[in-house]
Amino acid sequence: MRNWWEIGLCIDVVKSPDLVLDKADPGDDVSARFDYQHTYAAINAIRLITGEGDCVEIICENHEDFLVKNGAGKFIGTQIKTRKITLLPFKAGEEQVTNALGKFCLLDQKFPGCFEGFDFTTNHSFWKNEQSLNNLPWLLDSLRQRGGIKGLRENNPLRQYVAGIAASTGLSPQNVAATLVRTTIRGHEAEITHIGSNLQEALCECPGIEELPYATVAAIAKALVQLAREASAKTLRGAVTELFAPGTDLKQAVDDQLLAGKRICKDDVLAVIDRFKSGSKPYEDINVSTLVTPSDAPSDLVIAFRKLAKGGVEAGRVTNIADRVRSFEALFLEWSRKYGADEATKRYNNVLAAVQFEAAEAHAGAEKGGEPYGSAMFGALAERLMARARDDRDQLHGCRPEHLIGAAGLLTQQCKTWWSPHFNAAEDAP
């Protein structure tokens, strides 16, 4: 007869690890944090195309998370810190914060005159409930306004904070203050995963990108993140023959190629964009369940974004859908406050029914032109909804065209409106 613990062991053995989620494994969390950093670097790399901020090169994982080089040869050193949005904001005295600022100060002294400034960025936010040693925005703003710590008493919070970093780095308080007055902080107050949609929005600021199919832009965005990921790794970039040329200093040649591998320039970004603009796959071959994820779209609209992508709708139109949906939802709340829940729901359903009819008519006409027909359908639907909003204003309860487009987005999410032949749009969606 078996002991109870032997029976328990047998029960455990029959379980399969691919059927049990390990909630204690931090691997996916660590991966998300690195993805945030690489995506943030990719967004900055897009500045190489748009020309914003005199950016000529992004250098990844060299002295800082990444360096931004400008046309004058000066740098902005950037550190990225992530934190679950449900946790408390960063306080100035936290070790993670003081270590980051101390590293800025040391780097500033190591390369005097090379850094125009430093940037501390987080997906979260910074504590600022009161003017104290915990309030980093207040500390840095105060230092900038007065130009340093000269004339401050020993018990002054600004001087105390600077002195603490000076003690930990071995630098003088004056040197620390000189670096901190050139340090900016950014708190984006968003979940780590939201950075993906920010990247696509940034991409749409590049000339001609907004008119590309959303699926193509999503693919470009992922390729740019991979570009930043590769630049963050120790990758040699250059001809192998250079490492074996007679008279070559091998160590220096390797260092040169490692540094080259960390650089992202304008031509690198353009090469990624051109590759997808000229060689994207036919729409029927696109796996939108992996291409469009909750990090690329609002989680409550992932299915809608996948369906629009499958139909070949342009990126500018797709990213605009989320704002239109929010506009229609806000209108429903306004109706609820004015007329009560029952009347608001009645109006809401009336508008959805009208938009669903117009969407079906637009779909019927557009699909005759062959796939992908989502773009043609969107144009036809927009025209129909503008006419409907003008001619049937009372029936639609005063809805504007943007409200009606938002209703179309909701119908798409609910799988009542399609922009391509039907497919499994819900695979792996939240």
How far, in Å, CA of 283 to CA of 289, rounded? 13
Domain final residue, candidates 169, 195, 221: 195
Residue 272 reports pLDDT greater than 50: yes
CB 33 within 8 A of CB 189: no
What tokens appear for 336 in the block?
A: 């609820």
What average pLDDT does the segment 399-424 reach? 94
Task: Give the three-class secondary structure for 116.
Answer: strand
- Percentage of the residues of the chain whose pLDDT score is greater than 70: 90
**Does 8 map to a domain?**
no
For residues 191 and 321, membership in a common domain is answered with no
CB 230 within 8 A of CB 203: no
**One domain, residues 50 and 187:** yes
For residues 224 and 206, is the Cβ–Cβ distance under 8 A? Answer: no
Q: 26-81: per-residue pLDDT in tens? A: 555 778 888 999 999 999 999 999 987 789 999 999 999 999 999 999 999 999 99
How confident is residue 86, by pLDDT bands cut at 50, 70 and 90?
very high
Higher pLDDT, 151 or 245: 151
Main-chain dihedrals φ then ψ at residue 58, nearest 5 degrees: -115, 130
Same domain, 179 and 299: no
Domains contained in the chain, number = 2
Residues 190, 296, single domain; the answer is no
pLDDT per position as a tens digit, 117-131 = 999 999 999 999 999
| pLDDT surpassing 90 at residue 184 | yes
Say what the pLDDT of residue 4 is: 41
What pLDDT shows up at residue 285?
A: 58
Q: What is the 3-state secondary structure (H, E, C) of 380-408?
A: HHHHHHHHHHHHCCCCCCCCCHHHHHHHH
CA distances from 326 to 320, 336, 383, 406 (A): 10, 15, 21, 7
Residue 310, pLDDT > 70, answer yes
Higher pLDDT: 392 or 283? It is 392
More confidently predicted of 298 and 384: 384
67 domain residue, yes or no: yes
- Quickly state the pLDDT bin for 237 (edges 50, 70, 90): confident
Please indicate, yes or no, if residue 21 is contained in any of the structural domains.
no
Average pLDDT, the chain: 88
Single out the residue in 143, 170, 195 at which a domain terminates. Answer: 195
| Three-class DSSP category at 67 | strand
pLDDT on residue 19: 59
Per-residue confidence (pLDDT) for residue 1, from 0 to 100: 43
Mean pLDDT, range 243-267, rounded to an integer: 86
**37 and 184 in one domain?**
yes
Sign of the CA dihedral with 34 first, then 317, 291, and 25 last: positive
CA-based angle 165:170:174, to the nearest 5?
65
Distance (Å, rounded) from C-alpha 396 to C-alpha 386? 12
Q: Does residue 18 register a pLDDT over 60?
A: no
Other C-beta atoms within 10 Å of 291: how many? 19
**Amino acid 256: pLDDT:** 85
Kindly report the CA angle at 224 between 220 and 225, in degrees rounded to 5? 120
Examine residue 362 and state whether it is found in any structural domain, yes or no.
yes
Looking at the structure, do residues 187 and 309 belong to the same domain, yes or no?
A: no
Does residue 191 register a pLDDT over 70? yes
- Measured between alpha carbons, how far is 249 from 362 in angstroms, rounded to an integer? 67
> How far apart are alpha carbons 78 and 45 in whole angstroms?
13
pLDDT at 311 over 80: yes
pLDDT confidence bin for 374, thresholds 50/70/90: very high
Residues linked to residue 213 through DSSP beta bridges, in sequence order: 314
Residue pair 206/142 in contact by the 8 Å Cβ criterion: no
Decide which of 195, 221, 251 is a domain's last residue: 195
Q: Which of 12-16, 56-60, 337-341, 363-367 has the lowest mean pLDDT?
A: 12-16
Residues 51 and 175 in one domain: yes
Strands (E) across 49-159 are located at 55-62, 64-70, 75-81, 115-122
User: Is residue 257 within 8 Å of residue 248, measured between CB atoms?
Assistant: no
Does 37 share its domain with 174? yes
State the residue range of the domain holding 314: 291-430
Q: What is the reported pLDDT for 399?
A: 94
Phi, psi torsion values for 131, nearest 5 degrees: -80, 100
Q: What pLDDT is attached to residue 257?
A: 87
**Under 8 Å between Cβ of 54 and 76:** no
User: Residue 22, by phi and psi: left (phi above 0), alpha (psi -120 to 50) or beta?
Assistant: beta
What pLDDT does residue 7 have? 42
User: Does 261 fall in a domain?
Assistant: no
Q: Which own/partner pairs from 126-131 qualify as long-range (CB within 8 Å, at least 24 positions apart)?
A: 126/89, 126/90, 126/91, 126/92, 126/185, 126/187, 127/88, 127/89, 127/90, 127/91, 127/92, 128/89, 131/157
Instruction: State the pLDDT confidence band at 16, using cuts at 50, 70 and 90.
Output: low
Residues 295, 183 share a domain = no
Q: Output the domain CATH number for residue 60.
A: 3.40.1350
pLDDT score, position 20:
58
Residue 98 near residue 168 (C-beta atoms within 8 A)? yes
> Do 296 and 149 share a domain, yes or no?
no
Contacts of 259 (CB under 8 A, 6+ apart): 59, 62
Q: Is there a domain that residue 424 lies in? A: yes
In a domain, 235, yes or no: no
Asked if 184 and 295 sit in the same domain, the reply is: no
84 assigned to some structural domain = yes
Residues in the chain: 430
pTM (predicted TM-score): 0.81
Quick one: what percent of the chain has pLDDT higher than 90? 65
